[in-house]
Amino acid sequence: MCLLFGACRRDNPSAGVGTAGAQSATTPVQTSVTAAAITDHLATSTQQSRQAAPGNHFVLLDVIAHNPDRQPQVFSEGSLVSVNESHERSFPAPVSMFADEFLTLQVLQPAATVRGKIAYEVPTISPASFTGSQGRAANGSCCACKRHPR
């Protein structure tokens, strides 16, 4: 099984992001997952905590997002997708944790970079079958697991 992460960006000029009334080519927000973990409990610096529901775990991603464009862009956490030989399953909404170390919907100014955590609650999976990746792995495969080589 592979887990794929893909953050979203929104650059609708009418929403105040980008140049109002002008069409401009924007460079997408660049995201990368620097670490991934599976846990049953989330805790924050603000003493907020959350326990996974019975039969579930949290997939906790450490993410870096960078806006390489000359215009502000909205960064959104995006979804997590689980892929195995028989099916694909999407987890569209991350867990809401209101603490500085967790990324949420936000405007990234030009050349700005943010780093933080994003968590998704998913059905229990084996740590041995887990991998985290955004887009394509360094070897060009769809992910970093051994079942989906290049």
Q: What is the pLDDT of residue 98?
A: 85
Partners of residue 59 on adjacent β-strands: 38, 120
pLDDT tens string 82-113: 777 777 888 888 998 888 899 988 999 999 99
Whether residue 25 is predicted with pLDDT greater than 90 in this model: the reply is: no
Residue pair 131/144 in contact (Cβ under 8 Å)? The answer is yes
Q: Kindly state the tokens that stand for 95.
A: 């867990």
Q: Is residue 98 domain-resident?
A: yes
Residue pair 132/36 in contact (Cβ under 8 Å)? The answer is yes
Q: Kindly state the tokens that stand for 109.
A: 């100014």
Residue 118: which residues within 8 A CB-CB, separation 6 or more?
5, 60, 61, 63, 77, 94, 102, 103
Any idea what the CATH number is for the domain that residue 81 is in?
2.60.40
CA distances from 53 to 80, 102, 110 (A): 18, 20, 39
Q: Is residue 143 domain-resident?
A: no
Q: Is residue 145 domain-resident?
A: no
User: Does pTM top 0.85 for this prediction?
Assistant: no
Instruction: Give me the torsion for CA of 21, 19, 7, 136, rounded to 10°.
Output: 100
Q: Is residue 147 domain-resident?
A: no
What's the one-letter identity of residue 1? M
Number of structural domains, the chain? 1
Q: By residue range, what is the domain housing residue 128? A: 2-134
Q: Is residue 93 domain-resident?
A: yes
